[in-house]
Amino acid sequence: MSIPVSGLHHVTAIASDPQRNLDFYADLLGLRLVKRTINFDDPGTYHFYYGDGHGTPGTILTFFPWPNARRGGRGTGQIDALGFNTAPESVGYWLERFKQNHVSAEHAPKRFGQDVIRFADPDGLLLELIASEPEREVEVWPESDIPAEHSLRGFHSVSAALEGYERSAKLLTEVFGYELALEEANRFRFSAAGTTGPGRMIDLLCMPDTQHARGGAGTVHHIAFRTTDDASQRVCREQLVELGFNVSPVMDRTYFHSIYFREPGGILFEIATDPPGFTADENLEELGHELRLPPWMEKARAQVEAVLPSIALPRKR
């Protein structure tokens, strides 16, 4: 049995200060602010979406920035690190950029033959730039001040910290159709079969002696896998329910439809549809310019805007 997923759609994490988050991801890392909306389950909170120039699935990192949120703690049952693709010749550029902007970063030991830069965002979320040649180019955001040849190219992989990896690996291989690609010590890399482009790999880290994670700022809330449309999502849901997973009803997130469940290691998984996409309520050129609300909240726009923190949008080149 294999359900129709094809790599990552997006990753959602928790932040504290929204302005600091915008400055780091849009200005320092050069990601496009693809969408500025709200947390549908907590309308007094922003929901920021960052990605490539077109908001392509596999490049999307989103945040719930809760001001004054307490910092979370790393551990098992959590995504430990997010890895972005960058060109092999860009390693020196990024190390120098981090140095100039007073961001502590290390040139870590090679992983499966690839250079790795490790650093953390202002809330402590562990990030990695992994030097790799992408199988398919993403759309560079031309208004970033990052030279196009050094821009980030979507997700390379995510690393999941687990007390034991076997049951999670079984879900990936027997249900999601992933294949074990590489392994080294306690790291097992799985790749979405027959898929090219960003976001197709997941590393499972077997860490039985590590404490359980604590949610909060600087941690990943969930990861979302992509599926082509509503029909394929229904197939996903039916098969997961048959396997005994507790799966949420389909939820309308305006830009995609979502279902959620906990994988065996405790990490929250989502399966999200590719359509309607981020141009459902904005032209491509205008993505991220205005605060977008779901249709059912438009009548409360004045109240929502009154409680959201004031922010300055990312600067343009």
pLDDT digits (tens, 9 = 90+) for 251-305: 999 999 999 999 999 999 999 999 999 999 999 999 999 999 999 999 999 999 9
pLDDT of residue 317: 53
Segments in 129-286 forming alpha helices (H)? 166-170, 230-242
Q: What is the pTM of this model?
A: 0.96
pLDDT of residue 193: 86
CB 197 within 8 A of CB 134: yes
- List, in order, residues 6 or more apart from 276 with CB less than 8 Å away: 254, 255, 256
Q: What percent of the chain has pLDDT over 70?
A: 98
Q: What is the mean pLDDT of the chain?
A: 95
pLDDT in tens, 138-166: 888 989 999 999 999 999 999 999 999 99
Buried b (16+ CB within 10 A) or exposed e, 234-264: eebbebbeeeebebeebeebbbbbbbbbebe
What is the band of 316 on the pLDDT scale with cuts at 50, 70, 90? low
Measured CA to CA, the distance from residue 172 to residue 2 in angstroms comes to 9
Ordered structural domains, the chain, with CATH: 8-307 (3.10.180.10)
Measured CA to CA, the distance from residue 265 to residue 212 in angstroms comes to 11
What is the band of 135 on the pLDDT scale with cuts at 50, 70, 90? low
Percent of residues in the chain assigned helix, strand, coil, to nearest 5: 20, 35, 40
Q: Which amino acid is at 133?
A: E
